[in-house]
Chains A and B, each alone.
Chain A
Amino acid sequence: MRAPHIKASLFVVIALAFSVSSQAQQDSTSAGIEAYREALQDGNPADLYVDSGAEIWKKKAGPKEASLEKCDLGLGPGKVKGAYAQLPRYFKDTNKVQDLESRLLTCMEKLQGVDTTEIVKAAFSSPKKADLVALSAYISAESKGMKVKVSLAHPKERQMYDLGRRLFYYEAGPYDFACATCHGQDGKRIRLQDLPYIPSAEGAAKGWTTWPAYRVSSGQMWSMQWRINDCFRQQRFPEPIYASDVTVAISSFMAGNSNGSVMQTPGIKR
């Protein structure tokens, strides 16, 4: 009866040898991808959008012929530096928790008198959304290097965060997908993309501190709302309404989990 025992252990040894070599291959692949991502960091085309966003911020527009320079992003009217690191947050004037893009819509409506209905409906790649994308790039850049400091103190902020967590685990669509399907376990991957484990501080930060980002594969600048919209698409969910509570809730969940990590926005991605 020794033969099968020896065979079994031989099999284990061979299996181990294969797994070690494929692990080595995987490691060198991961190293290659890391090197690629590092090389991309220098000369981020997102900077072109940052510049254009800075111009749009100052440009007079809408029926009221006003710029966005008095827009309150949470740190007081016109204060842009550091504002993105503290969003989403509760705003007294609208009595709700808002993320950056939701807040920009508020300012476009209130300060500029713009009817944002068509902007909300427009596709992300359309010119109507272009200003919001560029503004996202600019305002996020003004928080680069700063620590995420998202408050969960106000009851509505807590509520939004909890809603975000529920949505994260909510299975829906024809495939019963949830955000958690991809992002709810540690150490998972789709092809060569590592999937951050979003309920953790580290995983949430991987995503939250690097979007908005320029995506080289499509040559487009993506805001966080765009990123979330595309996740919904990949899950075969119905399309969320731009800047709706659902989208803000998911951002609140991610941002809340990321507290203390450093903003690296705008990012550059595959």
Chain B
Amino acid sequence: MNTNTTRFDRRQILKAASGLGLVALGTSMVPSMAFAAWNKAAFEAKGMSDTYNALGAGSPSNSNDIQIVASDIAENGAVVPVTAVSKIPNTEQISILVEKNPSALAALFDLTADVVPEITTRIKMGQTSNVTVLVKAGGKYYTATKEIKVTLGGCGG
């Protein structure tokens, strides 16, 4: 019930409800639309397939229209800059997963239609691992994967 797809549906409900003068009934009558509950199941799932299931992504298909812009080597696993770019039309959600992390799902972004479907952030990687970008577009799920090596640095520079 608390999947991200329902968030914007609730917004539509509220819009319709306000048109009908039903908003005055108070937010208790309408499910909270400010934040859907944090997807605990997805963030606590361990491996990739469990995470996909928790996200309702099923078995996503690989896509060449997703680009992962990141250095092949991270000097430190604590901060790994990643830019996820989706060229798939109607991209509504972009997620970043790290296969070998204790829980694969690092971050999930819900984008409105006004947002260019590309997001930059920094993730932690416990070790060299495949990094997967999961895109939800037009209700379907797609992925692209890139291996990022994590090295142990020298001393301090």
Contact = CB atoms under 8 A, between A and B. Distances in A.
Interface stretch (A71-79, A100-108, A226-234): A226-234
Interface stretch (B34-42, B75-83, B91-99, B136-144): B75-83
A43 B120 CA distance: 11
Contacts of B152: 191
Contacts of A195: 154, 157
Contacts of B74: 36
Tell me which of A28, A39, A192, A269 has the highest count of chain B C-beta atoms within 10 A of its own C-beta: A39
A37 B155 contact: no
Interface in A20-76: 28-29, 32-33, 35-37, 39-40, 42-43
B112 interface: no
Interface residues of B, number: 20
Contact of B156 (A189, A194, A219, A231): A231
A27 to B, nearest CB: 12
Nearest to B81: A39
Contact of A191 (B72, B149, B154): B154
Contacts of A216: 76, 78-79
A191 B151 contact: yes
Nearest to A268: B79
Contact of A189 (B70, B71, B122, B154): B154
Contacts of B154: 189-193, 195
A32 B148 CA distance: 10
Contact of A270 (B81, B149, B153): B153
A238 B79 CA distance: 32
A234 B155 contact: yes
A207 interface: yes
Contacts of A192: 75, 151, 153-154
Nearest to A37: B75
B156 A33 contact: no
B73 interface: yes
B71 A270 contact: no
Interface residues of A, number: 31
Given A32-B72, A195-B157, A234-B156, A40 B79 contact: yes
A36 B69 CA distance: 11
B73 A270 contact: no
B78 A39 contact: no
B57 to A, nearest CB: 27
B81 A207 contact: no
A9 interface: no
B157 A40 contact: no
A35 to B, nearest CB: 4
Given A234-B156, A270-B76, A270-B156, 17 more contacts: A33-B151, A35-B71, A36-B74, A37-B75, A39-B70, A39-B81, A43-B122, A189-B154, A193-B153, A193-B157, A194-B157, A195-B157, A217-B78, A219-B78, A231-B156, A270-B75, A270-B157
CB-CB nearest 3 A-B residue pairs = A193-B154, A190-B154, A32-B73
21 contacts: A29-B73, A32-B72, A32-B149, A36-B74, A36-B81, A39-B70, A43-B122, A182-B155, A192-B153, A193-B154, A193-B155, A194-B157, A195-B154, A195-B157, A216-B78, A217-B76, A217-B153, A230-B156, A269-B156, A270-B76, A270-B153
